[in-house]
């Protein structure tokens, strides 16, 4: 049994990464970093009981990848652990999707890890953190990207971010732990490899021998600032979001972009959102236009942003007396004496003979039309809503009183023509009132 690395143990405890009964998915490529991760997680099982799964992805990019997969499976078997291997043709998938091999490989890996269920542990180390921050700086990142990787983010755990690659290799050699070497790690046509093999050594030799520490300090400061800002953004969301609808009456464009990003994150839509996309989102909101984020459509109007959803059909049949519906209380009663039909109030009086079939109250449907009283001909319900300046966010909630022929009353706005109660005796009338919840 190998010894548990003290720094690894400290990170697990400090960040409350594993509790008794958890399921942990260890991403194991077979390389030095992932073998360090796996062996230490296995050793930690002696202290805390949890389920440990080994996950390996064969990307189909190297001939030696076959041997890596066999190696990982053999190690898992020796440890009496379940091992899950996914085989993918990442190069072809990347070409079909118009993405880089690195981006597609990452998507394939995390999709697979999530399928296995549990907490996902990856072997990113201190050197990876330096490279990540530097890489993002060169691309022109914002404050969030400048912070680098987090120890814990959602169901993703990185317990080695303060452990250097040199320390990892020393541990493996001391414990006699074998590992695989990926020959592509030394090929400089990959950007991350060029950073590690060329740029960082140049910065150390010519500018700052402690550039690693300087970059990590910058990342830590960025994370502290990000956490402070995030607290204010989350506070705004908590105070100004109701049932998925967000109040977006924010004067400052930068703060609005942060709020929008946090809002979109709730729908898992921030993976590919850069500054250009967020600037476009802010512009659309300012102009009260709809916007599309990763194929998902949002509507903005009246200072409110909401996800565009196809309305779920809601329909309630009305009977005589009180009717409790999702839209409020509708009361149907026969009249004992004549009353004036007052269209400015939430009540209509209809001639019984004009009603065809059952009375129902429902929400809108595609292609709904009706004939507003006092107007010539029918019109689309959508156009009526636009003319009446009824906000888009409210239109699915407007109750429609209908019979088998169509819409009788757009509650409480307009009665339809053809249901007049004039010159009809009171005993032949029905009164329908609405009380909003």
DSSP assignments along 315-369, one per residue: EEE--SEEEEETTEEEEEEE-SS-----TTSSEEEEEGGG--S--EEE---TT-E
Six-digit token pair at 265? 């994150």
Q: Are 120 and 142 in contact (CB under 8 A)?
A: no
Whether residue 183 is contained in a domain is answered as yes
Which 3 state secondary structure label does DSSP give 316? Answer: strand
Q: Do 278 and 395 belong to one domain?
A: no
pLDDT at 343: 45
pLDDT for residue 331: 93
Closest CA to 250 of 265, 261, 260, 238: 260
How far apart, in Å, are the Cα atoms of 63 and each of 109, 182, 388? Answer: 19, 11, 67
Asked whether residue 203 falls in the same domain as residue 295, the answer is: no
Closest CA to 236 of 247, 245, 227, 244: 247
34 is in an annotated binding site: yes
Q: 327 and 289, same structural domain?
A: no
What three-state secondary structure class fits 3?
A: coil
| Same structural domain, 410 and 424 | yes
Is there a single domain that holds both residue 408 and residue 431? yes
Range of the domain at 304: 245-309
Residues 286 and 424 in one domain: no
Is 257 found in the same domain as 187?
A: no
> Given this model, what pLDDT does residue 302 score?
77
- Asked if 410 and 419 touch (Cβ cutoff 8 Å), the reply is no
Say whether 33 counts as a known binding-site residue: yes
Separation of alpha carbons 211 and 196, rounded Å? 12
Nearest to 34 by CA among 18, 15, 57, 17: 57
Q: How many C-beta atoms surround the C-beta of residue 163 within 10 A?
A: 24
166 and 19 in one domain? yes
The pLDDT of residue 310 is 63
Give residue 426's pLDDT: 67
With respect to residue 235, please indicate whether it lies within any of the assigned structural domains. no
Domain count of the chain? 3
Q: Is 30 assigned a ligand-binding role in the annotation? A: yes
Domain boundary among 161, 192, 212: 212
Q: Are residues 41 and 95 in the same domain?
A: yes
| Strand pairing category for 51-58 and 82-87 | parallel
Domain closes at, from 266, 290, 309: 309
Taking 70 as the pLDDT cut, the residues of the chain under it are 271-272, 309-311, 336-345, 393, 421-424, 426
Does residue 69 have a known ligand-binding role? no
Q: What is the spatial distance between Cα 329 and Cα 231, in angstroms, rounded to a whole number? A: 41
Q: Return the sign of the alpha-carbon dihedral for residues 11, 15, 18, 24.
A: negative
Q: Is the dihedral of CA 391, 393, 398, 400 positive or negative?
A: positive
pTM, two decimal places: 0.67
Specify the 3-state DSSP secondary structure of 280. helix
Instruction: Round to whole Å and give the CA distance between 108 and 101.
Output: 10
Can you list the alpha helix ranges (DSSP code H) found in 158-300?
165-175, 191-194, 200-206, 211-240, 253-265, 275-286
d(CA 393, CA 303): 11
What is the C-alpha separation between 131 and 128, in angstroms, rounded? 5
Over residues 196-211, the pLDDT tens digits come to: 999 999 999 999 999 9
Three-state secondary structure call for residue 362: strand
**Do 182 and 72 fall within a single domain?**
yes
Query: How do residues 70-120 score in pLDDT, each as one tens digit?
Result: 999 999 999 999 999 999 999 999 898 888 888 889 889 999 999 999 999
Indicate if 321 and 282 belong to the same structural domain: no
Q: Tell me the CATH number at 143.
A: 3.40.50.620
CA distances from residue 27 to 104, 126, 271 in whole angstroms, order as listed: 16, 17, 21
CA 200 to mean position of chain CA atoms: 35
Angle, CA of 282, 284 and 285, to the nearest 5°:
65
Separation between Cα atoms, residue 42 and residue 121, nearest integer Å: 12
What are the tokens at 130?
A: 């330096």
Distance CA 76, CA 67 (A): 14
The answer to whether the annotation marks 311 as part of a ligand binding site is no
Q: Which residues contact 160 (CB under 8 A, 6 or more apart)?
A: 8, 11, 33, 36, 37, 123, 124, 125, 126, 168
Q: What is the pLDDT of residue 392?
A: 73
| Within-domain flag for 423 | yes
End-to-end CA distance of the chain: 66
At residue 408, the 3 state secondary structure works out as strand
Task: Find, among 255, 267, 263, the residue nearest to 229 by Cα.
Answer: 255
Last residue of a domain, one of 309, 326, 353: 309
Q: Are residues 195 and 275 in the same domain?
A: no
427 belongs to an annotated ligand binding site: no
């Amino acid at each position: 049994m190998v010894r548990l690395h003290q720094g690894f143990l400290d990170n697990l405890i400090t960040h409350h990464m594993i509790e008794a009964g958890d399921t942990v998915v260890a991403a194991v490529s077979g390389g030095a970093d992932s073998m360090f991760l796996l062996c230490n997680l296995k050793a930690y099982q002696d202290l805390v009981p949890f389920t440990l799964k080994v996950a390996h992805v064969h990307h189909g990019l190297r001939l030696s990848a076959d041997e890596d997969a066999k190696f990982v499976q053999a190690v898992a078997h020796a440890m009496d652990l379940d091992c899950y291997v996914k085989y993918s043709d990442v190069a072809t998938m990347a070409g079909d999707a118009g993405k880089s091999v690195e981006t597609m490989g990452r998507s394939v890996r995390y999709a697979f890890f999530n399928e296995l269920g549990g907490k996902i542990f990856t072997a990113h180390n201190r050197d990876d953190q330096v490279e990540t921050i530097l890489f993002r700086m060169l691309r022109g990142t914002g404050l969030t990207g400048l912070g680098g990787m987090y120890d814990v983010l959602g169901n993703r755990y990185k317990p080695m971010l303060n452990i250097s690659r040199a320390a990892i290799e020393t541990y493996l050699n001391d414990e006699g732990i074998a590992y695989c070497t990926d020959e592509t790690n030394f090929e400089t046509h990959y950007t991350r490899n060029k950073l590690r093999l060329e740029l960082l050594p140049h910065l150390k030799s010519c500018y700052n021998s402690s550039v690693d520490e300087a970059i990590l300090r910058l990342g830590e400061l960025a994370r502290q600032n990000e956490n402070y800002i995030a607290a204010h953004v989350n506070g705004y969301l908590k105070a100004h979001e109701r049932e998925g609808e967000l109040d977006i009456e924010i004067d400052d464009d930068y703060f609005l972009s942060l709020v929008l990003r946090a809002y979109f994150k709730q729908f898992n839509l921030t993976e590919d959102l850069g500054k250009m996309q967020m600037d476009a989102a802010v512009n659309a909101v300012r102009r009260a236009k709809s916007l599309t984020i990763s194929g998902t459509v949002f509507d903005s109007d009246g200072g409110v942003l909401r996800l565009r959803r196809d309305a779920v059909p809601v329909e309630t049949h009305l009977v005589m007396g009180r009717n409790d519906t999702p839209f409020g209380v509708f009361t149907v009663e026969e009249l004992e004496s004549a009353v004036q039909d007052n269209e400015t109030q939430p009540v209509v009086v209809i001639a019984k003979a004009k009603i065809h079939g059952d009375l129902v109250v429902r929400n809108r449907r595609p292609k709904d039309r009706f004939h507003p009283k006092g107007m010539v001909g029918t019109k689309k319900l959508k156009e009526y809503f636009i003319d009446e300046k009824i906000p888009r966010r409210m239109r699915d909630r407007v109750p429609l009183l209908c019979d088998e022929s169509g819409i009788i009353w757009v509650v409480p706005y307009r009665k339809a023509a053809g249901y007049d109660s004039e010159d009809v005796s009171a005993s032949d009338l029905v009164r329908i009132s609405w009380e909003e919840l």
